Amino acid sequence: MDFFSKYSLCDTPIDQHNVSKLQSDSEQNAMVSCLSDTERQMLKQRIKELLLSCLEFTVPPLSYKPCEEGWRAYRGKCYTFSSNMQSWFESRDSCAASQAHLVIIESAVEQAFLLSKNIETYWIGLSDLETEGHWIWVNNQTLSETGVEFWFRRGNQKSEPDNWNVDDASGENCASVSWEALNAWFDNSCTVKKKYICEKKYSFPYLDDNESN
């Protein structure tokens, strides 16, 4: 079994050290075939944890990549920024068709990463469709559960979300991320067509529990 060589190295120094130590430890490599099933699963889990901690991956030509072509790898997640524009509902369904979901933003670091790749406005996986003012992510987490929110702030006027209902009588029940500042979330009418960001976890097929080689 040689799943070490199937994974590329992280390109950040601290992760590079951890992962390359595992990859280059020939004694540990030789031990793998002697491990019990339980020990083997524990070792795989440890490798998976290290790989999930990678901030970004280097991409040597023959190394395994945690994300498909067209997706960006960052801290355990793969992201794709659409080039087409759709309603929030269509965007949600398009992400699901790629075995993904509209992006769920869980930290300032993740928000900053998205902004760094972003010069437009994109739908995110946040809505208050069921109860006005009760914002929930597409995985049913609330903002208090994720612990961060980045609504756009205005000094002397009402900040976002403002549920503006002049253009759409049903108000604004779907959220987008813009790029002007860290606090760059807006509520919008869900029927407006925008680009969108899909997200899914890194995939490690050689480390899956049913991996047989």
CA–CA distances in Å: residue 78 to residues 67, 69, 103, 193, 199: 6, 10, 10, 23, 6
Number of residues assigned to the chain: 213
With CB under 5 A, what is the number of residues at the site for Ca ion? 10
Determine how many CB atoms are found less than 10 A away from the CB of residue 43. 17
Q: Which two tokens stand for residue 38?
A: 């339980």
Judged by CB under 5 A, the stretch of 26-34, 84-92, 93-101, 155-163 that binds Ca ion is: 155-163
122-127 and 195-201 beta bridge pairing: parallel
Round to whole Å and give the CA distance between 92 and 106. Answer: 18
Taking the least distance from each CB to Ca ion, the nearer of 73 and 126 is 126
Round to whole Å and give the CA distance between 140 and 95. Answer: 16
Shortest distance, position 187 Cβ to Ca ion, whole Å: 4
Among positions 91-150, residues that touch Ca ion (CB under 5 A) are 128
176 makes contact with Ca ion (CB under 5 A): no
Q: Which of 15, 110, 172, 199 binds Ca ion (CB under 5 A)?
A: 172
178 makes contact with Ca ion (CB under 5 A): no
Contact present, 118 and 158 (Cβ < 8 Å): no
Judged by CB under 5 A, the stretch of 4-12, 81-89, 98-106, 187-195 that binds Ca ion is: 187-195
187 makes contact with Ca ion (CB under 5 A): yes
List, in order, residues 6 or more apart from 188 with CB less than 8 Å away. Answer: 88, 172, 174, 175, 176, 194
Shortest distance, position 49 Cβ to Ca ion, whole Å: 38
Contact present, 198 and 62 (Cβ < 8 Å): no
Judged by CB under 5 A, the stretch of 25-33, 86-94, 100-108, 165-173 that binds Ca ion is: 165-173
163 makes contact with Ca ion (CB under 5 A): yes
Shortest distance, position 46 Cβ to Ca ion, whole Å: 44
15 makes contact with Ca ion (CB under 5 A): no
Residues contributing to the site for Ca ion (CB under 5 A): 128, 160, 162-164, 171-173, 186-187
